[in-house]
Structure formats: structure tokens, C-alpha cells
Structure 1
Amino acid sequence: MKHLSLFLMLSLLAVAPSLLGACPQNCHCHGGDLQHVICDTAGLTKLPKVSEQTRLLNLQRNHFPVLAPNAFKEMKGLVSLHLQYCKIKEVTSGAFKGLKRLVYLYLSNNEISILGVGAFDELTELTYLYMDHNKIIDLPKGLFSPLFNLFILQLSSNKVRDLKPGTFNGAKDLRWLYLSDNEITNMQPGSLDEVENLAIFHLDGNQLTSYPLAAISKLRVVEDLKISRNPIKLIPDFAFQSFGRYMESLSMENMGVEKFSDKAFVGVTTLKKLNIEGNKLNQLPNNAPYATLQSIMLTGNSWHCSCQLASLRRWMDNSRSRPNATCASPSQYRGQQLKDTGAFRACKQPVKKSKKGERH
């Protein structure tokens, strides 16, 4: 009898290793202890049960309209969670509770319009959060408070309308913030105070009608700023001063910009790439940062080829990059390329100031 019991036990273990945790139906798994569980396009409508040892769970292209509180509480070992294309409409407060090791969270390409205030509670290790291509209108104050290790936040292609003070409370380590293609009309002063260390900040494709100087002036180290495709007519004095010694790339194409104020580029000392195509500019300020520029995109403006643009022409003459740009005025130079026109022949070279005490 003893031998029969032992035989039955061994048979059960051989036939059903799943007693300790099987690979979910229609999924495939890799690594010991089901470390990687892949359920892409598995027809799931309920979250599968996986082992606490699972590190990566890929649930793309299934159907989970609501992520309920504690939905993942048994999956304490998860480091990477993929939920793209799952038709998610709501992420409730506490949905990810228990995922204290989670580093990567992918929620892109869903239909999320509701985010509970505590949606990201306990995600203290989360570093990469992708929520682009959803329907998010509001970012509740405190939403990101638990995410003090957050480095990248991708929120492009949503319906966010307003950035309020406290929006990014807690996310002090955030370095890359993508807000492209939303519906932002207003960035309130203080809305970026918590994320002053942003290095990449993309705001292109929104509905800002004035440059958000009060909100943006707390930023210190922005290297790449995109504000293209916002209907802003005037770029004010000191627009980039707070981070000008770090900024290397500035994208401002297709905005309808009519003018840079005389001191717009004060403090900008490292700019390498400037895109101002498709605006309504006819001049650039005298302090435009030609000394460091490696490329500049100029087409689609109505350039007035007078001596105020002579510095730009000198830059072209001394640069490998000779961008296309056409004179719109005066009439005798209309249609001529800035890089070839004779409009600047009579312009004087700037006189270099002599150093104090230098003999003449």
C-alpha cells in the first residue's frame, strides 16, 4: 500500500507540475519558476494567476476594461508589466498595490480616461511609466506622489488640458517628460516646481497661446525642449534663461511665431540645433546663439534680408550646414536664397571690443 501511495504521488508530480504554478492557458512562459509569462493576444478577460517568482508579465492585446484595486497583489515579484492595447478605461485607486519591485509599467494605447488618485500607490521602485495614446483629461494632484524613483513619464497623445501646481508632487527624479499632442491651454505657475531637473521636455502639439514663462522658469537643466505646433506668436525676453547653459536642442516649428524679443536668447550658451521652420518670422534678435549652433532650420518664414540678418548669413558662410531660406523682402531680393543673396554686401562686420588695458 505504501509503495502504491508513493507511486501515485510521483505520478501526480510528473503529470502536473502546475500544482506549484502552471503557465496560464494560451500563454507561454520562459525561465525557471515562470519568470517570464507572455500572454500577448491570448483572449483573456480576467488577469491570469502567476507565480510570485514571475518577473515579467506581458498581457498586451487582451481585454481588461477596469483595473480593480489590488488586481496584482499576488504578483509581488513583478519588475516589468505590459498592458498595452487592453481596452483599459479605468485604473482605480490601489490597482497596483503590492508591486513594490515594479520598474517598468506600460499602459500605452488604451482608452484610459479615469485615473484614481491612488492608482500608483506603493510603486516606489517604478522608473519608467508609459501612458501615451489614451484619453486622460485630468492628472489628479498627488497621482505621482509615490513615484519618487520615476525617471521617464510618457503622456503624449492624451487629452490633458491643464497643468496645475502639485501635478508632479513627489516625482523629484523625473528627467524625461513627454506631453506632446495633448490639449494643454494653460500651464499654471508652480506646475513644474517639483520636476526642476527635467532634461527632456516635449510640449509640442498643444494649444498654448502664450509662452509659459512663469511655469517653465523653475526648470534648471533642460537639454531638449520641444514646443512646436503651439499657436504662440511672441517668444518673450529670458524665455530660456533658467536652463540656457544646458539646452542643446530647441524645436519651435509650425507655431505662427512672429517675433523673438530682443532678449529671448539671454543665457543660451550651448544650443546646437534650432528648428524655427514654418513660422511668420522676418528677423532674428541680435543675440541669437550662432556661436554654438551646428544646424538651424529656417524655411517657411518671410525673411527680411537686411543687415539685422547679417550674423545669420555669416554663420551660413562659416558652417557646413547651409540651410534653405528665402528672402521675402526687400523687393529687389525677393525669392533669393539667404545663403546666396547680395543683400548683405554693405553690412559692416561687428567690431570686437578690446580687452581692458590693451594697447592700440
Structure 2
Amino acid sequence: MDFLLIGVCLNWLLRKPPGWILCTLGLFFKMLPAVNSGCPQLCRCEGRLLYCESLNLTEMPHNLSGVMGLSLRYNSLSELHDGQFTGLMQLTWLYLDHNHICSVEGNAFQKLRRVKELTLSSNKITQLPNTTFRPMPNLRSVDLSYNDLQALEPDLFHGLRKLTTLHMRSNAIKFVPVRIFQDCRSLKFLDIGYNQLKSLARNSFAGLFKLTELHLEHNDLVKVNLAHFPRLISLHSLCLRRNKVTIVVNSLDWIWKLEKMDLSGNEIEYMEPHVFESVPHLQSLQLDSNRLTYIHPRILNSWKSLMSISLSSNVWDCGRNICALASWLSNFKGRYDSNLLCATPEYAQGEDVLDAVFAFHLCEDATDPTSDVNLLSAIANNSDQMFSYSPATVNYDMQDTEGDRTTNAVTVTIVNENPENAVQIHKVVTGTMALIFSFLIVVLVLYVSWKCFPASLRQLRQCFVTQRRKQKQKQTMHQMAAMSAQEYYVDYKPNHIEGALVIINEYGSCTCHQQPARECEV
């Protein structure tokens, strides 16, 4: 607008003398807000944007009317009093991070209805009143990271229907009140990582229908129940890294669109077999650095859409129960970490899981020890029988956060593989391989003889053929002699009278010829 006004003024100055007056009035009214407010000393002004950063200020600058953006970063402000920003009704963003603010009064941001971005990170705020954000209904982004917040008031975010991003990382928050985000229907990003959360209420995240990314890493959660996120229908990424989770369950049957889950760096020992059936679109899963000893086959069957998985740094038991996981990894076409090492039994410690399965023949058919057939695929389809449960177990208290109910204790014991059976099977397989090797040597000797002494073998074969022909000729001659010695007799009995008279009167003679027609001629 300034350049346009200057261009119009030049045009009038060159053509019409009255342009002097109009130009002067226009520039005067244009510069009037800046003249009234001025630019505070040592601050930097860019039009209606004011930057008073790293000046060690302990109080707010004066005469800031008309400012649309105010940055007071890296100063020494300690308190925000009621009505401290009165007169900044045009303000759209306010940066107050990296100060020493320890208290904020309830009406400190009064009349800042146009503010869309507020940053209060890296201060010493311990508590925020319920009415802190009430005067700013148009907020889109709020940053409260790196403070000393210990509790959140139940109605702290009431009325923030346009809020899309909320940062509360690195505070001392121990509990998330029920329905505290109920009005934040446009929120898409929520970060409550690096706090002291020990549990989650069932309806802590109620109302976040558009939330796509949730960060809860580096807290003190000891149990993850996917039923705590029932209404996060748009959630794509859930980060629970570096907590103290020992068990993962799901007490609610529902389906959601989660694509990425990070459970690494916890103490997970048990996961319910059906826990991942509610997330059929899961593509990335991190389970490394936990205490897993095996994966239930039902869990493996629910990992149909995975493209990336991390399972390293667990205490894998390379006994019979590892077969289902080994089979799944053999057929998995996505990315997974290759350093899956056995922790037990003793004879397989430090070995790669897949190498141990093949080296110690852990997944061969127990009914046929001489068989060298790999049964990994069969184990993957029907390996529920390979898991046994006994009272010598680890018990988990599955009490719900709200205390409404308590589920039964989960008892799990993994049966270790006997190394002596593996050694016996290994010996039998070795003997079988030796027998096959001997047979191959005999075949090789015959082949070499055929190639090196062809004449002798051919003469021997010719002798056998000649002897066989002579035997056939002798049999043929005996048959012909027997046929020539036989005589054929034919009785001639004429049927007509003349023939009979001739024979009676001895008129003529009757001769019988054997060949060719064997008929009697008179």
C-alpha cells in the first residue's frame, strides 16, 4: 500500500498542482498510527510488527497501540497482570517465551480477541487459571512447553474451538482431567510428552475428533489400555516411547485408523493376543527395548498391514515358543531390525533368533526326528498348542484407571526347550546325512567306471545279449519239433447216398491230406 500511495503521489505531482495537498494528507493519515505509537527505543519495528527481543526488559513497553504482532522473547518479564495488554486489540500473534514468568492472572489477555498464536514456552509458570484463554476464542496455536505446570484446570481450554496445535511438553503434569479438551474439536496436534503422567482416564481425550498426532512419550505410565482412546477416530500417530509400561491391553472392541505406534523403551512383558485387532491399518510399530520373550501367534496374524517393525533389544526366549515369530519374520516383506538376539536358553544366548532356529532345529517335527523338514509355516498357522500356562507366573494387576472394575490376573509361563532333545535330533540328522553321502559315493564310482572303461562294460553287455538270444532260439526249435510230430486225424463221413455207396462197394479210395486244407479227397 505504501508503494501504491507513493506512485499515485508522483503521478499527481507531475500532472496536477493540487496533487501536493492530496499527497501530503494521504501520507499524514497513513503515518498517523506510527506517529502516535512510535517505535520503542532499542526495539525493531517492521510496519505494524514490533520485535523487542533480548533487551532484558522487566516491564511491557508503552504506547503499543496499533501493533499487529508483538515479540518479547528472551527478556526478564516475571508476571502478567490483569489488563496488561489492554489497547492491543489489533494484535494477532504474541511471543512471550524465554522469560521468567512465574504467574499469569486470569484476565491478563483481556480484549485480545484477534490473537491466533500465543507462545509462553520456556518460562516458570506453575499454574494457569481457568479463565486464562477465555478472551482469545480465535487461538489456533498455544505453546506452554518447558514450564513448571503441575496441574491443568478442568476448564482451561474451554471455548477454544479453533485451536489446532497445543504444546505442553516438559512440564510436571501428573494427570489429565476428564473432558478437558471437549471444546477443542479442531485440534490436530497434541504434545504432552516429558511430563509425569502415571495414568490416563477413559475420557481424557474426549472431543478430539480431528486429532491426528498424540505424543505421550517420557512419562510414568505403567499400563496402556487402548480403550482410553475410543473417540480419536482420526488419530494416525501415537507415541508412547520411554514410559514404564509393563502390559498392553484393550478392553473395548472398536476399530480406529491408527497407522503409527511407538512403544519402544518401555518394560512390556505381556500384550493381550487381541490388542492389535482394533488397529487393522497399522503400518509402523516400534517394540524395541522392552522385555518381550515371545509374540503370541494371534498378534502375528493381526499384523497384516505392517510395513515396518522394530523388535530388537528384547529378552527373546529361543525355545519352542519362538517358532511362530521366526516363521512370521521369514515371510515378512517389510523392514525390520536384524539384531534380534536370544537371551535364553543358555546354549543359544547371543545368537540371532533366525540363526538359532535353524542351527538347533527348534522348529522340526517332534514325531519324526530324522526328518529335515522345516515346520515354521505350520507352526505359524496353528501354534496355539505350543504355549503353556502354569501358576509359576508373572501376575499383572489390570485394574482400570477409574477404579470401576478389576479384571483377572494374567498368568504366563513360557516352557523352555530341553537342549538334550535338540542334541539327539542333531545326531540322527547327522547319521542320515552320512548315509546319503555314502550312496552318492557309490553312484559316483559307477559313473566313473562307465566313463573310464567303456569297452569292458560293452563286451560284458554283448555277452549277456548273445546268451539271451541263444536261449530264445533253442526254445523256438523245441516248439517247432513238437508241432511236426503231432498227427491230425479227420473222420470223413459223407452225408449223401452216393458217397456212401462208393465207400461200401469199395469203389475208389479215400485219401486224407494234412496240408494245406486238411480235407479228404476221393
Q: Go from structure 1 to structure 2 and tell me whether the alpha carbon gap of 1:276 and 1:320 turns closer, same or farther (over 3 Å shift).
A: closer
Q: Distance in 2 between matches of 1:191 and 1:231?
A: 20
Pairwise mapping of residues 88-167 of structure 1 onto structure 2 (< 5 A)?
Answer: 88-167=101-180
Pairwise mapping of residues 302-317 of structure 1 onto structure 2 (< 5 A)?
Answer: 302-305=315-318, 306-316=322-332
- Paired residue for 1:333? 348
- Paired residue for 1:20? 36
TM-score, length of structure 2 as denominator length: 0.60
The structure 2 residue matched to 1:206, chosen from 219, 228, 239, is 219
Moved more, 142-151 or 182-191: 182-191
1:231-284 alpha-carbon deviations (Å, 9 max, x no partner) = 121111367x6464x212111111100011111101222222211111100112
Q: Which has the higher strand share?
A: 1
The structure 1 residue matched to 2:293, chosen from 275, 279, 282, is 282
Please state if 1:49 is matched with 2:62. Answer: yes
SS of the aligned residue for 1:101 comes to: coil
Q: Go from structure 1 to structure 2 and tell me whether the alpha carbon gap of 1:132 and 1:168 turns closer, same or farther (over 3 Å shift).
A: same
Cα distance, 1:18 vs. partner?
A: 5.6
| Paired letter, 1:328 | A
Please state if 1:217 is matched with 2:230. Answer: yes
SS of the aligned residue for 1:193 comes to: coil
Cα distance, 1:334 vs. partner?
A: 2.8
The structure 1 residue matched to 2:271, chosen from 260, 284, 302, is 260
The structure 2 residue matched to 1:61, chosen from 74, 83, 90, is 74
Q: Distance in 2 between matches of 1:137 and 1:95?
A: 20
Checking the alignment, whether the CA contact within 8 Å between 2:310 and 2:337 is kept in structure 1 is no
Checking the alignment, whether the CA contact within 8 Å between 2:150 and 2:172 is kept in structure 1 is yes
| Paired letter, 2:288 | E
Q: Distance in 1 between matches of 2:98 and 2:114?
A: 23
Question: Using CA pairs below 8 Å that are at least 6 residues apart, which structure has the higher relative contact order?
Answer: 1
Q: Distance in 2 between matches of 1:229 and 1:158?
A: 16
Checking the alignment, whether the CA contact within 8 Å between 1:87 and 1:111 is kept in structure 2 is yes
Checking the alignment, whether the CA contact within 8 Å between 1:237 and 1:266 is kept in structure 2 is no
Please state if 1:72 is matched with 2:85. Answer: yes
Radius of gyration: which is bigger?
2
Q: Distance in 2 between matches of 1:277 and 1:259?
A: 14
- Paired residue for 2:376? 347
Q: Distance in 2 between matches of 1:163 and 1:322?
A: 35
Q: Distance in 1 between matches of 2:315 and 2:232?
A: 32
| Paired letter, 1:270 | H
Q: Distance in 1 between matches of 2:258 and 2:98?
A: 35
The structure 1 residue matched to 2:51, chosen from 14, 29, 38, is 38
List runs of 5+ in structure 1 lacking aligned partners. Answer: 1-9, 353-360
Moved more, 128-137 or 67-76: 67-76
1:108-133 alpha-carbon deviations (Å, 9 max, x no partner) = 10000021110111211111111110
Q: Distance in 2 between matches of 1:347 and 1:238?
A: 31
Q: Go from structure 1 to structure 2 and tell me whether the alpha carbon gap of 1:243 and 1:196 turns closer, same or farther (over 3 Å shift).
A: farther
Cα distance, 1:72 vs. partner?
A: 1.4
Cα distance, 1:43 vs. partner?
A: 2.0
SS of the aligned residue for 1:309 comes to: helix
Q: Go from structure 1 to structure 2 and tell me whether the alpha carbon gap of 1:304 and 1:202 turns closer, same or farther (over 3 Å shift).
A: same
- Paired residue for 2:191? 178
Q: Which has the higher helix share?
A: 2
- Paired residue for 1:5? none
Moved more, 167-176 or 44-53: 44-53
Q: Go from structure 1 to structure 2 and tell me whether the alpha carbon gap of 1:60 and 1:242 turns closer, same or farther (over 3 Å shift).
A: farther
Percent sequence identity over aligned pairs: 26
Moved more, 153-162 or 181-190: 181-190
| Paired letter, 1:274 | L
Q: Go from structure 1 to structure 2 and tell me whether the alpha carbon gap of 1:24 and 1:311 turns closer, same or farther (over 3 Å shift).
A: farther
Cα distance, 1:53 vs. partner?
A: 3.3
Q: Distance in 1 between matches of 2:231 and 2:79?
A: 37
Q: Go from structure 1 to structure 2 and tell me whether the alpha carbon gap of 1:320 and 1:300 turns closer, same or farther (over 3 Å shift).
A: closer
Checking the alignment, whether the CA contact within 8 Å between 2:309 and 2:335 is kept in structure 1 is no
| Paired letter, 2:305 | T
Checking the alignment, whether the CA contact within 8 Å between 1:279 and 1:301 is kept in structure 2 is yes
Q: Go from structure 1 to structure 2 and tell me whether the alpha carbon gap of 1:235 and 1:18 turns closer, same or farther (over 3 Å shift).
A: closer
Q: Go from structure 1 to structure 2 and tell me whether the alpha carbon gap of 1:212 and 1:112 turns closer, same or farther (over 3 Å shift).
A: farther
SS of the aligned residue for 1:308 comes to: helix
SS of the aligned residue for 2:324 comes to: helix
SS of the aligned residue for 2:377 comes to: coil
TM-score, length of structure 1 as denominator length: 0.85
Q: Distance in 2 between matches of 1:61 and 1:242?
A: 47
Checking the alignment, whether the CA contact within 8 Å between 2:93 and 2:117 is kept in structure 1 is yes
Cα distance, 1:333 vs. partner?
A: 3.4
| Paired letter, 2:270 | K
Q: Distance in 1 between matches of 2:337 and 2:225?
A: 32
Cα distance, 1:184 vs. partner?
A: 1.0
The structure 2 residue matched to 1:292, chosen from 305, 315, 331, is 305
